[in-house]
Amino acid sequence: MQSSVLGRTGLKVSRLGVGLAEIGFQLQGDDVQQAGRILNAALDGGINFLDTAECYGNSEELIGLTVAHRRNEFVLATKTGHAVADYKGKPWTGDAVRHSIERSLKRMKTDHLDIVQIHAYDVFGPCPDDVVQALSDAKQAGKTRFIGYSQENDDALWAIRTGVFDTLQTAFNIVDQKARYAIFGEAKKQNMGIIGKRPIANAMWGRPRAPKDYYGGDEVAQQYAERSRVMLTAGPIPGAPGNNILTSIGFVLGHAEVHTSIVGTRNPAHMLSNIDMVNKQLPLANGVIDELHRRYDKVGSHWRSID
């Protein structure tokens, strides 16, 4: 599989990575074998970037139970900051970060993490100093090799401009292209690694509406579905493949600024399909990405990235 260097970390990562939210929230403790099939299929197919979080259900435990014995084959990224599981203190404190990192190491049966990211999906504004310090201390102690930040919009720009973080995880997809306007350029100046999240836009590209029971947050899916509808009012994208997931993944990976892009699934067959698409069916035809840029700039330039 095609790979890229993750900015100043120097880590060589597959362009397609695995996001563990879906596995963590949708698989139960007795679904270890299914989780193992998914993650081992990913590693066997050339994926070497796994991204999880302290609050993604039992995702960290499933990593430890299924692929810990292959630890030298993948880059392991997690997130921190929330008060979850056995932690009873306040979230967004240095104590929460320190406790979370120790728990992640134990859950995933490893002596180090490659990247620990501040998980700022439901808080806004600059991080407390003690949170950043706890993360920096973990890096100095060798518990993580690098530190990162996960957010969008102005908060992502704040994180880039601090010069503290090695990586940035931020939303980027066909209907959420805001990162093209400033974030990518600012991050490149700092030589930060870029991890693209929500690359398939909750599978809403080309769909008129989101199912009422859609996993991953009905509000987000509905917003993405509405944006898709607006962008497609001018008709189909000339030259785009008939497979909307392929179009979505191809769009994101058509941007060299995104070093790796994480896609999650609880279905081993879907994992194999994603790998096949990336290895055999990309890049997209000439002009597809330019047309998607043009339509977004025309009708969606005022849209903010969805936090």
Rounded CA-CA distance 78/182 in Å is 25
Instruction: Identify the CA nearest to 54 among candidates 106, 4, 11, 94.
Output: 106
Residue 249 covered by a domain: no
Residue 240 covered by a domain: no
What CATH number did the domain enclosing 16 receive? 3.20.20.100
Residue 243 covered by a domain: no
The tens digit of pLDDT for each residue in 106-122 reads 999 999 999 999 987 66
Residue 306 covered by a domain: no
The tens digit of pLDDT for each residue in 191-227 reads 999 999 999 999 999 987 766 655 555 688 889 999 9
Cα torsion through 167, 172, 176, 178, rounded to 10: 40
pLDDT at 212: 63
Q: Which residue has tokens 């008709």?
A: 235
pLDDT band at 30 (very low <50, low <70, confident <90, very high): confident
Residue 181 covered by a domain: yes
pLDDT at 210: 66
Residue 20 covered by a domain: yes
In this prediction, residues 239-267 reach a mean pLDDT of 97
In this prediction, residues 237-245 reach a mean pLDDT of 97
To 5 degrees, how large is the angle CA 292–CA 302–CA 123? 110
In this prediction, residues 185-193 reach a mean pLDDT of 98
Instruction: Identify the CA nearest to 121 among candidates 161, 149, 102.
Output: 149
Q: Give yes or no for residue 290 having a pLDDT over 70.
A: yes
Query: Which structural domain range is residue 93 located in?
Result: 3-201+256-285
pLDDT at 124: 65
pLDDT at 106: 97
Secondary structure in 3-state letters for 52-73: CCCCCCCHHHHHHHHCHHHHHH
Split into its structural domains, the chain has a count of 1
The tens digit of pLDDT for each residue in 119-155 reads 876 666 788 899 999 999 999 999 999 999 999 999 9
Least confident of 14-23, 60-69, 218-227, 267-276: 218-227
pLDDT at 288: 98
Instruction: Identify the CA nearest to 65 among candidates 26, 111, 39, 32.
Output: 32
Residue 183 covered by a domain: yes
pLDDT at 123: 66
Q: Give yes or no for residue 3 having a pLDDT over 80.
A: yes
Q: Give yes or no for residue 287 having a pLDDT over 70.
A: yes
Q: Give yes or no for residue 166 having a pLDDT over 80.
A: yes
Residue 83 covered by a domain: yes
In this prediction, residues 214-243 reach a mean pLDDT of 88
In this prediction, residues 299-304 reach a mean pLDDT of 96
* Percent of the chain whose pLDDT exceeds 90: 83
